Amino acid sequence: MLSVSKIDCEKNVNLKKLCSIKIGGTAKKVFFPKDIQDILTIYNESKERNRKLVLIGLGSNVIFKDGILEYMFVSMRKLKGINIWEKGDNVYIKANAGVSFKEITKIVKDMNLGGFENLAGIPATVGGAVTMNAGAFGKEISDLVESVEWIDGNGEIVESSRDEISFDYRYSQFQKGGIVVSAVFRLYKADYNVGEKIKNIILERNKKQPLDLPTSGSTYKNQENLPAGYLLEKVGLKGYRVGEIGFSEKHANFLVNYGNAKFSDLIKLLQYAESKVKEEYNITLEREVRIID
Ligand SMILES: Cc1cc2nc3c(=O)[nH]c(=O)nc-3n(C[C@H](O)[C@H](O)[C@H](O)COP(=O)(O)OP(=O)(O)OC[C@H]3O[C@@H](n4cnc5c(N)ncnc54)[C@H](O)[C@@H]3O)c2cc1C
């Protein structure tokens, strides 16, 4: 069996560097696989040593606890590679898990491909976006997915078509297990200016989101017809802080780190928000952020 010793790895990594909200302690080891063989090797090692694997894309939706974390962390950022082909009016992009939405945005602008515009500006890798079923302005990544290549719980490489994968609002089956290795997206040759549309989408995003402070995006999933931000604002939590973590004054559903926020304060804030909304609206808020504790 191949050994993980040949795979790029960093020791004693400050987890603040691997997530956008910049909270977290130290990871004993972080692996940086460059191809599917590296991932299989890491996967087998985790099974053999009975260690939990924690996958990280850009870290835009994850929050790590403080202290020393012993999990096997795997940053997918170096798993790059893109293939593009045409069939009729459609253009297909196959992208490996570590390809960022920034890279895809550049391609769709350069080639004037339609379908992806509303998702431009979401800070994500392909693997993280498929896992979270990231979406914006009424469009979700699952709308574009043709197929996903992933590693299942037996360490087998599986290719599943869109219909075989369970997706829902900010949910995919990969949140319960499996490693997304690559995905194929179906786009089309547009007869309008894609770059112009993307520019407007990004302007719209920038107006609403607090991008001047470290954040992890939406904290809670929206409830049917009731945005989580609305509920948080109604219970008086817009701009509310515990220590150096708070709900943004610009967008109540965005957590922001005002400096050196502590994980314990963040948990206190989430528990307080959840109890307030339950008390006043009898609604159980569902966390969108992925807490690694
Ligand atoms: C400023 C800001 C704006 C945002 N706006 C939006 C928005 O408009 N819409 C939206 O939906 N989200 C938004 N988000 C949240 C975030 O960008 C998305 O959830 C994104 O899909 C996360 O991608 P990532 O690569 O950073 O994944 P990460 O945050 O690194 O990981 C997310 C989850 O996926 C898992 N994961 C990562 N890679 C893999 C893989 N290859 N295989 C299996 N599991 C994997 C992780 O373990 C974790 O559970 C925003 C976040 C920020 C900070």
How do residues 50-77 score in pLDDT, each as one tens digit? 999 999 999 999 999 999 999 999 999 9
Q: Does residue 7 surpass a pLDDT of 90? A: yes
Rounded Cα distance between 13 and 64, Å, is 12
Q: How far is the CA of 149 from the centre of ligand 1 (A)?
A: 18
Mean pLDDT, residues 95-121: 98
pLDDT (0 to 100) of residue 158: 97
Mean pLDDT, residues 105-127: 98
Walk me through the domains of the chain, giving residue ranges and CATH numbers.
4-75 (3.30.43.10), 82-196 (3.30.465.10), 210-288 (3.90.78.10)
Six-digit token string for 6? 């040949």
Q: How confident is the model at residue 224 (pLDDT cuts 50, 70, 90)?
A: confident
Residue 229 has φ and ψ, to the nearest 5°, of -60, -40
Ramachandran assignment for 66, one of left (phi > 0), alpha (psi -120 to 50 degrees), beta (any other): beta
Which of 20, 55, 140, 150 best tests ligand 1's pocket when mutated (most atoms within 8 Å of CB)? Answer: 55
pLDDT (0 to 100) of residue 181: 98
pLDDT (0 to 100) of residue 5: 87
Mean pLDDT, residues 127-141: 97
Whether residue 98 has its Cβ less than 6 Å from ligand 1 = no
pLDDT (0 to 100) of residue 118: 98
Q: Does residue 1 surpass a pLDDT of 70? A: no
Kindly state the percentage of the chain with pLDDT values over 90: 95
Residues identified as active-site = 170, 218, 288
- Which tens digits make up the pLDDT trace of 227-280? 999 999 999 999 999 999 999 999 999 999 999 999 999 999 999 999 999 999
Using the 8-state DSSP alphabet, how is residue 15 labeled? Answer: G
Q: Does residue 93 surpass a pLDDT of 90? A: yes
Ligand 1 atom with the smallest distance to the CA of 125 is 25
Q: Does residue 284 surpass a pLDDT of 70? A: yes
Residue 167 forms beta bridges with which residues?
172
SS (H, E, C) 82-145: EEEEEECCEEEEEEECCCEHHHHHHHHHHHCEECCHHHCCCCCEHHHHHHHCCEECCEEHHHCE
Whether residue 290 has its Cβ less than 6 Å from ligand 1 = yes
Contact 107, 82 (CB under 8 A): yes
pLDDT (0 to 100) of residue 155: 94
Q: Does residue 225 surpass a pLDDT of 90? A: no
Whether residue 201 has its Cβ less than 6 Å from ligand 1 = no
